[in-house]
Amino acid sequence: MLKDVSFGQYYPVKSFVHNLDPRLKILFLIGYIVAIFLAKEFLALGACAAVLLLAVLFARIPVGKVMRAVRGILFLVLFTAAINVFFHGGDAVYWNAPAVLWEWKIFRVTQAGIVFSAFLALRLFLLVICSSLLTYTTTPVSLTDGLESLLTPLKWVRFPVHELALIMSIALRFIPILMDETERIMNAQKARGAALDSGGPAKRVKAIVPVLIPLLLSAFRRADELGDAMDARCYSGGKSRVKYKKLRFSWRDLLAFALLAALIAGVSVMRFFPVFPL
């Protein structure tokens, strides 16, 4: 199950999306999230989904691998949808049936609640997929360079931009490493007779304790080794540092920016002039 965690993993392949400037990809993600929250109807959310599908196809990443990103938040999506189904108010009618489909004490299932829950679940689904697509198509080093370049104006107020970008890069790089380490520790515990996959929720939580302790020790050991390696290489922060690779925008970035601008403009128009309002 831990191997299915996709966030922080890079999928190496040559594609149109992989060759985009990391700064543009970060801005595209921010703009895409804005477009998702601007969407107030399924037609606008469908436009966002179409753009995301186009990005996945141009990234040449298997759809099944992209879909694995949703597994980590599947419980959250289902729980949020269930809460809205039973407690969302509204008397809107979308099909030939009563507005209130079922009611018992404080629980109430309405057409409006079902439609809103489906809309919210689709919104969360798109948010997770687009965030995972960024890490799939961008190496941690490129993310660091792009983030540091975007935050360059903060250097004027003596904000540690380079150090912040480095911390985020190390955190992203450590996610798959810690997942592999957790898998290895769990397999070792199972080989010694630990029942990690059996029993009720309380028993499973207690069984995780023997996994967390060696995992924390391994994480601190890796952090200590990383610090020693940086000291051995005379790392002193972002002061007087130069870059081997310069970031430059290309025609690909112009096309991606135009697509993002068209998406935000279209969603904004549909927000104020809805075609199929919820």
Please name which of 36, 241, 190 lies closest in space to residue 126, comparing C-alpha atoms: 36
> Can you tell me the distance from the alpha carbon of 258 to that of 253, in angstroms, rounded to the nearest whole number?
9
> Can you tell me the distance from the alpha carbon of 278 to that of 274, in angstroms, rounded to the nearest whole number?
9
Please name which of 45, 46, 258, 29 lies closest in space to residue 138, comparing C-alpha atoms: 29
Residue with tokens 């018992």: 104
* pLDDT (mean) for 43-48: 92
pLDDT digits (tens, 9 = 90+) for 74-113: 788 888 888 888 877 666 667 666 667 777 777 777 877 8
Burial of 242 (0-12, 13-18, 19+ CB in 10 A): exposed
pLDDT digits (tens, 9 = 90+) for 138-194: 888 888 888 888 888 888 888 888 888 888 878 877 877 888 888 888 888 888 777
pLDDT value, residue 278: 63
pLDDT value, residue 239: 67
Checking 220-226 for CB contacts under 8 A at 24+ apart, the result is: 222/174, 222/177, 226/170
pLDDT value, residue 1: 46
* pLDDT (mean) for 27-42: 92
pLDDT value, residue 96: 66
* pLDDT (mean) for 252-263: 94
- Which amino acid is located at 53 in the chain? L
Please state the φ and ψ torsions of residue 186, each to the nearest 5 degrees: -65, -40
Higher pLDDT pick, 83 / 264 = 264
pLDDT value, residue 148: 84
Q: What is the mean pLDDT of the chain?
A: 83
Task: Encode burial over 176-186: b for 16+ CB neighbours within 10 A, e otherwise.
Answer: bebbebbeebb
Please name which of 274, 251, 253 lies closest in space to residue 31, comparing C-alpha atoms: 253
- Say what percent of the chain tops pLDDT 90: 22
Q: What is the DSSP letter of 245?
A: S
Higher pLDDT pick, 38 / 64 = 38
Spans of all domains in the chain: 2-138+248-272
Residue with tokens 């989904």: 49
pLDDT at 24 over 90: yes
Higher pLDDT pick, 21 / 165 = 21
pLDDT value, residue 147: 86
pLDDT value, residue 262: 95
pLDDT at 256 over 90: yes
N- to C-terminal Cα separation, the chain: 37
